[in-house]
Amino acid sequence: MEIFNDILNFSIVDIADIILVAILLYSSYKLLKGTVAINIFFGIILIYLTWRVTDLLNMQLLSIILDGFISVGIIALIVVFQPEIRKFLLMIGSAKISKKGSFLKKISFLKSDDNVTTDINSIINACKNMSTSKTGALIIIERNNNLDFLLQSGDQMNILITQSILESIFFKNSPLHDGAIIISNNTIKATRVVLPINNEIQIPNRFGLRHKAAVGITEKTDALAIVVSEETGNISYIKNGEFISIDNNLDKLINNDLI
C-alpha cells in the first residue's frame, strides 16, 4: 500500500526528474556506444544498483564497502571517461542557440534518429576510384556530435552526395581538393575544412597528415573518417581515434556505425 501511495503522490517535478535521468542515461549510452568504455559504463551501473540493493536490505558490511567505492567513484569516472567527457563538453559547446530552431534541437545528443540515409555506396565507389588513381581524400561523416564548429575553417556547401561530385572535389587540379569534407546525412556541408591536429597523437610513420587529422577529429568527436592515401592509394577507416579497417568491408562497417 505504501508503494501505491508513493505512486499516487507523484508530482510534475518527480516526472520531470525521471525524464531527465532517462535522457541522461540514453545520451550517455549513445556517446559510449561502439567504444570499449560502454562495458565500463554498464559495470558502474551494476555496481550502483548492487549498492542500492544492499543498502535497502541492511547488508551493512557490503554496503559500507560499496559506499566507499561509490564515494571516490567520481574521480575514477573522470580518469576512465576523460575522452568521453571531453566529447560531451564539445557536443554541448558546439550547440548554437542563435541559429534557427530551439536550443534542444541544436544539442547533438537529442537529435532525431529520423535522418536522411547517407549514400554509402557513392562514398565507397568514389574512394575506390580515387584509390586506383592515388588521389588523396579526407572524408568526415558526422554522427551525433555536431561538427558545425569546423565549418568556418573551410567553404560551406549544401551539396547532395554523388560519386562524381566526391571525385571532382578531390581531383588534384580542383581548387577544393585540399583539406577535409564534412558530410551530414546525405549532404556535403563543407569542403577544404582544416581539422585540428593533436601533435601528441602517435601514428605509424607510413601514415601522413590526413590520417593524423582523421585520428584527431574522431578521437575528440564520434565522427567517422575515411582517408585515401595519396602515396599508396590505401583506404583507411578511422573511428574513435583508431584505425578500424584498411581496404576491407568499408560499406558494412560504415552502415553498422550509422545505424
What the block records as the C-alpha cell of 31 is: 556517446
The residue out of 80, 110, 140 marking a domain boundary is 110
Task: Examine residue 115 and state whether it is found in any structural domain, yes or no.
Answer: no
- List the chain pLDDT tens, one digit each, 259 residues: 454 555 556 678 878 888 888 887 777 776 666 555 666 667 777 877 887 788 788 887 777 777 777 776 667 666 766 666 666 666 555 544 434 444 444 444 444 444 558 888 999 999 999 999 999 999 999 987 778 888 888 899 999 999 999 999 999 888 888 899 999 989 999 999 998 776 667 777 778 888 989 988 888 888 899 999 998 899 999 988 888 877 667 777 777 777 6
> All 3 cell numbers of residue 210?
590526413
Residues 6+ apart with CB under 8 A from 166: 122, 123, 126, 127, 137, 139, 181, 188
The sign of the CA dihedral 101, 103, 106, 109 is negative
79 and 135 housed in the same domain:
no
Q: Could you tell me the residue range of the domain that residue 204 belongs to?
A: 120-258
Last residue of a domain, one of 110, 139, 164: 110
Distances (CA, A) of 182 to 52, 75, 188: 45, 35, 6
Same domain, 73 and 125: no
Cell numbers 550517455: residue: 28
The domain tally of the chain equals 2
What pTM does this model have?
Answer: 0.62
Shared domain for 128 and 105, answered yes or no, is: no
What does the pLDDT read at residue 98? 39
Task: Tell me, yes or no, whether 139 lies in a domain.
Answer: yes
239: closest CA among 144, 129, 116, 104? 144
Query: Are 104 and 125 contained in the same domain?
Result: no
Last residue of some domain: 69, 92, 110?
Answer: 110
- Indicate whether 245 and 191 sit together in one domain: yes
pLDDT at residue 89 in the model: 63
Residue 66's contacts (CB-CB under 8 Å, 6 or more residues apart) are 47, 50, 51, 54
What pLDDT score does 170 carry?
94
196 exposure class (CB count in 10 Å sphere: 0-12, 13-18, 19+): exposed
